[in-house]
Amino acid sequence: MKLRTHVNLIVASLSAALVGLAAWLQFDGTRRSVGEEIAGANIVATQLLARMIVGLDQGGDDAVILAFLQQLGRVRAHEITMRDANREEVYRSPPSPYKAGREAPAWFASLILPTTPVHVFPLSGGGEVRVEANASRAILDGWDNLIELMIFGGIAFTVLNAAVFWLVGRAVAPWSVIVDGLTRIEQGDLEHRLPALRGHEANVIGATFNRMAASLQDKQLSDRKAIEAEQRLQQRRELDQIIEQRLDEERRLIARELHDEFAQSVTAIRSFAVVIANQHEADSRTAEVARLISTEAARLYDAMHGLIPRLAPLTLDTLGLAETLEDFIKQWQVRNPSIQFSLRHELPAQLGDSITIAIYRVVQEAVINAVRHARPTTVDVEVVCSDSTARVRVTDNGIGLPDEWSQPGHFGLRGLQERMVMLGGKLTLTEHAPHGVELTAEIPLGAQL
């Protein structure tokens, strides 16, 4: 139900109750006044007529009483009737000229007129005089007053409700504007604003509505920007995945080329140099140059073999992750005899290419960073796989993290973090008590690039 209709119904109910109360008071006042009038007049009329009739009846001539009654006429609200000895009516009070020809409704008269006794005075000649209350004029006055009240009340009721309907309509006119604004906001028109509204409350609501709409618009804009940023980030990550895959493929190709082609060529150069040196022992200068070429070829061969694991460990495809990690740790132990390396692993037979290379890169980056920057005496590597997660933990007892480790420029760790994010895992780097660094990586086993 609309507020305007609700208010009108309340006012209509109250005004109808007020008109009804006024009608009841009018009705009750009429009934009381008629009752009092009838009671008082009845006493006066009966007492007066009783004495007059008794006095006139002493002569036994009904004509004297008839002449008295005819001369008396109507006595207030009473009907006087005289009958002779044959019970024939010889006299009746003349009708009242007041509002002659009109009568109140019988149901109204029955509700107003009190019960009054009929007084009968017997005459010595056998006739009788009857005195009976008749308040039809007073009742008619009450009826007319009630009708006037109802007409006035009806007019007042109509005017009041029409005025209330109009005034309430003006008062609630801003609500339709507010409802329309809410509907437009619900439909997505967040740019809609309410005008200045009439009335203090409506104006406050309008101002609050406009602030709410502005906040919603700002939030929608922020959400849209966040979604667009998330989409761009997702696209960048997808692109990073493709780039990472291509880089891994290129690293494998380069590593194989170095291992299969360049390594053989360098070996051939070294062999040729050795042959030349042996064949020209007499020519010391030629033999010396040949030996230098052989030495440089050997150094180049060692450098290539050191570079190949950095690009892509070829043993991952042949021996597997466990043997590759063991070989990696042995190489670094040989290169750094002053550092004690340890490796513990619990690996399944198959992990998938993405997880395998990710685990290897984490171990590789952590070990290289520890050896180059932390000056440790021990480096411990642990790789353990559960039913759902592969966990890599590398700790050292070096000097700890440098202050600038998290600043831009540390691309190795940032690259590992990005790789972990793409795989749905996480990488953490913390201080290791009592001193040193602990790097931990957790990778879901179902992840694939």
Q: Is residue 296 part of a domain?
A: no
Q: Give domain status of residue 301, yes or no.
A: no
CATH assignment of the domain containing 359: 3.30.565.10
Q: Which residue has the higher pLDDT, 139 or 362?
A: 362
Q: Which domain holds residue 339?
A: 313-449
Last residue of a domain, one of 132, 149, 164: 164
Q: Inform me whether the pLDDT recorded for 66 exceeds 70.
A: yes
Confidence of residue 448 (pLDDT cuts 50, 70, 90): low
pLDDT of residue 13: 87
Domain-located, residue 222: no
Percent of the chain with pLDDT over 70: 82
192 pLDDT higher than 90: no
Residue 149 counted as domain residue: yes
| Residue 364 belongs to a domain | yes
Chosen domain end from 164, 181, 206? 164
pLDDT of residue 400: 80
SS (H, E, C) the chain: CCHHHHHHHHHHHHHHHHHHHHHHHHHHHHHHHHHHHHHHHHHHHHHHHHHHHHHHHHHCCHHHHHHHHHHHCCCCCEEEEEECCCCCEEEECCCCCCCCCCCCCHHHHHHHCCCCCCEEEECCCCCEEEEEECCHHHHHHHHHHHHHHHHHHHHHHHHHHHHHHHHHHHHHHHHHHHHHHHHHHHCCCCCCCCCCCCCHHHHHHHHHHHHHHHHHHHHHHHHHHHHHHHHHHHHHHHHHHHHHHHHHHHHHHHHHHHHHHHHHHHHHHHHHHHHHHHHCCCCHHHHHHHHHHHHHHHHHHHHHHHHHHHHCCCHHHHCCHHHHHHHHHHHHHHHCCCCEEEEEEECCCCCCHHHHHHHHHHHHHHHHHHHHHHCCCEEEEEEEECCCEEEEEEEECCCCCCCCCCCCCCHHHHHHHHHHHHCCCEEEEEECCCCCEEEEEEEECCCCC
Average pLDDT over residues 434-445: 87
205-260 pLDDT, tens digit per residue, is 888 888 888 898 888 888 888 888 888 877 776 776 677 667 766 766 776 666 66
Q: Which of 173-177, 211-215, 370-374 has the lowest mean pLDDT?
A: 173-177
Residue 284 has pLDDT above 80, yes or no: no
- The last residue of one of the domains, among 134, 164, 194, is 164
Rounded mean pLDDT of the chain?
79
406 in a structural domain: yes
**Is 417 inside any structural domain?**
yes
How many domains does the structure of the chain reveal? 2
